[in-house]
Every structure is written in structure tokens, then in C-alpha cells.
């Protein structure tokens, strides 16, 4: 009876453990794909392409299910599965290859590292060799092993749910993913040198071995996270610089509006005396003096700069301010009556950065060559903005954006990056042309 009860207990444990493993394969497969591709679009927008993709994905997952009948853990399986999913994502989805590789391999390799350590720990607790525990299939698995599978299932679902379809790793600079892929490969090599030798041996792991394996797990998992934390810190520093620059632009707009307000108050105050004088001329019959006075007032008004009206007060103020402070620059303005589809702050920052860059570039030229062309149009529901200016020297391009020519690169060169970020958030398009020593920025946005 005791033998039968033990056998029965093993069968129940085997069925529950194997069922949990199959559920883990299904959940991690779906979540791993979603976290890898994020919101990237498929190369072929058709139901057939989606069906083929998911059929191939689940065929790959089915191999893991079949392999789970033979072993409780196989590091080679994780490597093969990760490579297969990466190839499928790259074939069927539009996206950066290095970005897909980093997201995919981080997810699957770190799952392998965690499971390898847990299985190694369970083998030591059971006082059996690692290889024997692995080949023991699912008979009487340790509760720590079962808890690990439950934890992986829950965490994977939470990452997918919290991300709401977005990828879990995003950097603006695509070259960062290349460096991250190198870190991932270094971790994989470290795992192969620390954990895998013990997998191939048949001795029973002791406390020292488990501590060494834990150290290996920490080393394998820490490289990527140290890299991500360091990069996040540099990104935060960059964002702080961007916020400061944007704040300066908004502050300039506030000062401009305040000056405009004070000027209007002064004009209204002066107009009271001017109108009183004009009324006195007319009342006393001095019509010639009244006409002469009006002619003088008209000449004064004609000398004042006429604001550029686009229908958007923020754009009007910003352009008028930049034209006012850029002495010696010839402006060619071609604007329609239209409004910006962006928020006022974004409009101010975007236009201010573009005009600042143009002014800085032309001020390095001879006075007769200092000209800036600005075009703001609304065509077929599209908001079109173009800023064109000549420049001196050569411009260096990196990661799709042009580098600053200033020596202090930490404080300069943020303008176009800020503009690109605003356009991206507005789901618009930014295009840069650089030919014949003429620099042109084109912004296209959907009008609301």
C-alpha cells in the first residue's frame, strides 16, 4: 500500500508539474512575442500573414512541449527557441533588427538563467545529481521548482498587461541595442562557463556549488540591468537638458507676451491723449493740422514691424519675436491662415527650436547671405511646416539626426532632437534635406 501511495503521489505530481510547464510555455511564448515586437506593424498587412506567423510560433512552442516530456530543463532548448522567435519576428514585423534581438534574447536567456539555477538548487536539496534531476522528468518535482514556474507565468503576464502592447525596452538611439546585444552575448558565455559545466557532470551539488551557481546567476543577470540603469541615467540627464531648453523657450514666449501686453497698455494710454488732440483740432476747425497729424501717425505705424499672422497666436508671437531679435537676417515668409494641431507648449518649443537653429546657422555667414525661409501651410487636412536656411561648413549626421557644430555638445545639438521627439509624439513625420549648403527641415502633421 505504501508503494502504491508513493507511486500514486508521483503520478499526480508528474501530471500537475507537466501541466504547469505546458502552461508556462504557452504564456511565455505569447508574452515574449508581444514584448519583442511591441507595437511594430507587420510587413504584410493581411490575415494570411498573421495566421502564418502565429502558426509558426505555436509550432515552435509545440517542440518545447514535446521536449518537456523528456526533460525538466534544457538550456539548449531556450537558445533554439529564442533564435527561432527572433527570426520570425524579424521576417514578419517591421523594426530594427538589433532592437528585436535585444528584447527577445533578454527575455528568453534570463528565463533560462533563472530556471537553470532553480533546477540546480532543487537537485542539491534532493541530494541528487543535476543531470539526474533534469532527466527525472516531472516525477515528484520540488515545490520550489513549481513556485518558479508560477512566478514566471505571473510576471510574464504582468509585463504584458502593464506594457499594454508596448515593448518593455525602448531607446531612442538605435546603436544602444548593438551594445546591449554584446552584453547579452557576454552573459550567455558566462552562463556557459559557470552553470553548464555542472550540468554535464554527474556529481551531487553541495552548498558551495549552489552558492557559486547563485553568484553565476547574479553575474549573468546583472550585466544587462547595469547597462540599462546606466543608459537610463544618461537619458534622464539628457531629458533634463531638454526640459531646461524647452523651459527657456517657453520663458522667452512669456516675456514676449508680457512685453506685448505692456506695449498695448502704453499704446492705449497714449491713444487717449492723441485722440484728445485730434478732437481739439477738428473742434477748432484746424482740419489741415488734423490731416497732418494723422499722416504723421500713419508714417509711425508703417515703420513698426507688422506681425506675421497665421491664425495661431503662439506661432505669430514666436515668429515675430525671432524676427525681432535676429538683426540683419532677411526673412521670407509664406504662411496660410491655419492653426497648429499641437498643444501650445509643443508648438512653441518646436517652432522656437527650428528658428533658433536657423538663426544660429545664418549668423555665421556674410550679412548678404543671411536669409531664412519659413513656410506654414494647411493642405488637405495636413499641417505643413518648412524652415530653410543656408549654412557654412559641413554637417555631420548620426543616428538620423545632425550633430551640432558647437564645441559644447552637452548644451547644444538638443534642438533637432527635441523637435523629433515632439513630432514623434504627435505621430507626424520629420524630414531633413541637406544639399548645396542649404539646410531644410520639413514637418508634416495631421490637422485636428
Q: How confident is the model at residue 237 (pLDDT cuts 50, 70, 90)?
A: low
- Rounded Cα–Cα distance for residues 389 and 71 (Å): 67
Give me the pLDDT at residue 195, please.
57
Q: How confident is the model at residue 56 (pLDDT cuts 50, 70, 90)?
A: very high
- Rounded Cα–Cα distance for residues 448 and 445 (Å): 9
Of the ranges 34-48, 91-105, 166-180, 354-368, which one carries the lowest mean pLDDT score?
A: 166-180
Q: Classify 255 as helix, strand or coil.
A: helix
Structure letter (DSSP) for residue 286: -
- Rounded Cα–Cα distance for residues 108 and 211 (Å): 23
The mean pLDDT value for 278-301 works out to: 76
The mean pLDDT value for 78-83 works out to: 90
Higher pLDDT pick, 157 / 301: 157
pTM for the model stands at 0.55
Q: Classify 334 as helix, strand or coil.
A: strand
Higher pLDDT pick, 149 / 114: 149
Give me the pLDDT at residue 394, please.
60
Under 8 Å between Cβ of 117 and 190: no
Find the largest Cα–Cα distance for the chain. 130
Give me the pLDDT at residue 381, please.
83
Per CATH, the number for 306-448 is: 3.30.565.10
Q: How many helices (H) and strands (E) does the chain have?
A: 13, 7
- Rounded Cα–Cα distance for residues 99 and 118 (Å): 29
- Rounded Cα–Cα distance for residues 90 and 99 (Å): 10
> Does 166 have pLDDT greater than 70?
no
Beta-carbon contacts of 405 under 8 Å, excluding residues fewer than 6 positions away, are 393, 395
Q: How confident is the model at residue 206 (pLDDT cuts 50, 70, 90)?
A: low
> Does 100 have pLDDT greater than 90?
no
The model's pLDDT over 365-403, given as tens digits with 9 standing for 90+, comes to 888 889 999 999 888 888 999 999 998 766 545 444 544
Burial class (CB in 10 A: 0-12, 13-18, 19+), 328: exposed
Dihedral in degrees, nearest 10, Cα atoms 223, 226, 229, 234:
-100
CB atoms within 10 A of CB 58: 13
What are the distances in angstroms from CA 422 to CA 95, 341, 427, 430? 21, 12, 9, 10
> Does 11 have pLDDT greater than 70?
no
The model's pLDDT over 242-277, given as tens digits with 9 standing for 90+, comes to 666 666 666 666 676 667 667 766 766 677 777 777
Under 8 Å between Cβ of 373 and 387: yes
Under 8 Å between Cβ of 57 and 92: no
**Which helix (H) or strand (E) covers residue 372, if one does?**
strand 371-379
> Which residue is associated with the grid cell 498695448?
264
- Residue environment code for 4-40, b if the CB has 16+ CB neighbours within 10 A, otherwise e: eeeeeeeeebbeebbebbeebbebbbbbbbbbbbbeb
The mean pLDDT value for 63-91 works out to: 89
Give me the pLDDT at residue 228, please.
60
> Does 229 have pLDDT greater than 80?
no
> Does 348 have pLDDT greater than 70?
yes
- Rounded Cα–Cα distance for residues 56 and 61 (Å): 9
- Rounded Cα–Cα distance for residues 212 and 201 (Å): 15
* Proportion of the chain above pLDDT 70, given as a percent: 67
> Does 327 have pLDDT greater than 80?
yes
Q: Map out the domains of the chain as residue ranges.
A: 2-242, 306-448
Which of 80, 89, 21 lies closest to 54 in space, CA to CA? 89
Under 8 Å between Cβ of 107 and 159: no
The model's pLDDT over 113-144, given as tens digits with 9 standing for 90+, comes to 788 878 877 877 878 777 777 777 666 677 88
**Which helix (H) or strand (E) covers residue 349, if one does?**
helix 344-362
Mean pLDDT of the chain: 76
Beta-carbon contacts of 117 under 8 Å, excluding residues fewer than 6 positions away, are 195, 213, 214, 216, 217
Q: What's the Rg (C-alpha) of the chain?
A: 34
Structure letter (DSSP) for residue 166: -
Amino acid at each position: 500500500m505504501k508503494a502504491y501511495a508513493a507511486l500514486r503521489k508521483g503520478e499526480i505530481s508528474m501530471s500537475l508539474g507537466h501541466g504547469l510547464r505546458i502552461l508556462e510555455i504557452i504564456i511565455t511564448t505569447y508574452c515574449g512575442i508581444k514584448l519583442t515586437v511591441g507595437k511594430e506593424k507587420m510587413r504584410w498587412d493581411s490575415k494570411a500573414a498573421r495566421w502564418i506567423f502565429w502558426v509558426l510560433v505555436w509550432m515552435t512552442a509545440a517542440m518545447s512541449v514535446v521536449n518537456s516530456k523528456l526533460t525538466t530543463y534544457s538550456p539548449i532548448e531556450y537558445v533554439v527557441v529564442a533564435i527561432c522567435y527572433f527570426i520570425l519576428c524579424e521576417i514578419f514585423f517591421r523594426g530594427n533588427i538589433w532592437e528585436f534581438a535585444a528584447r527577445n534574447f533578454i527575455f528568453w536567456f534570463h528565463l533560462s538563467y533563472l530556471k537553470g539555477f532553480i533546477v540546480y538548487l532543487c537537485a542539491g536539496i534532493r541530494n541528487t545529481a543535476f543531470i539526474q534531476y533534469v532527466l527525472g522528468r516531472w516525477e515528484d518535482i520540488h515545490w520550489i521548482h513549481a513556485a518558479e514556474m508560477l512566478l514566471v507565468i505571473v510576471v510574464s503576464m504582468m509585463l504584458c498587461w502593464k506594457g499594454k502592447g508596448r515593448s518593455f525596452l525602448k531607446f531612442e538611439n538605435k546603436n544602444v541595442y548593438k551594445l546591449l546585444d554584446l552584453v547579452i552575448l557576454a552573459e550567455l558565455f558566462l552562463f556557459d562557463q559557470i552553470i553548464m559545466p555542472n550540468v554535464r557532470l554527474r556529481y551531487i551539488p553541495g552548498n558551495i556549488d549552489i552558492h557559486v551557481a547563485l553568484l553565476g546567476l547574479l553575474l549573468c543577470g546583472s550585466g544587462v540591468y547595469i547597462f540599462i540603469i546606466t543608459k537610463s541615467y544618461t537619458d534622464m540627464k539628457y531629458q533634463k537638458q531638454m526640459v531646461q531648453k524647452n523651459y527657456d523657450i517657453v520663458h522667452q514666449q512669456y516675456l514676449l507676451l508680457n512685453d506685448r501686453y505692456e506695449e498695448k497698455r502704453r499704446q492705449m494710454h497714449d491713444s487717449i491723449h492723441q485722440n484728445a488732440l485730434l478732437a481739439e483740432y477738428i473742434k477748432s476747425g484746424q482740419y489741415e493740422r488734423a490731416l497732418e497729424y494723422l499722416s504723421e501717425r500713419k508714417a509711425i505705424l508703417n515703420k513698426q514691424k507688422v506681425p506675421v499672422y497665421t491664425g495661431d497666436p503662439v506661432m505669430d508671437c514666436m515668429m515675430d519675436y525671432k524676427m525681432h531679435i535676429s538683426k540683419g537676417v532677411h526673412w521670407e515668409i509664406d504662411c496660410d491662415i491655419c492653426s497648429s494641431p499641437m498643444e501650445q507648449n509643443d508648438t512653441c518649443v518646436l517652432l522656437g527650436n527650428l528658428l533658433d537653429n536657423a538663426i544660429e546657422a545664418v549668423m555665421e555667414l556674410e550679412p548678404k547671405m543671411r536669409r531664412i525661409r519659413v513656410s506654414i501651410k494647411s493642405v488637405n487636412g495636413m499641417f505643413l511646416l518648412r524652415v530653410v536656411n543656408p549654412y557654412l561648413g559641413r554637417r555631420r549626421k548620426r543616428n538620423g539626426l545632425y550633430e551640432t557644430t558647437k564645441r559644447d555638445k552637452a548644451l547644444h545639438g538638443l534642438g533637432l532632437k527635441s523637435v523629433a521627439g515632439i513630432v514623434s509624439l504627435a505621430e507626424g513625420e520629420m524630414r531633413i534635406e541637406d544639399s548645396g549648403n542649404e539646410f531644410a527641415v520639413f514637418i508634416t502633421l495631421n490637422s485636428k
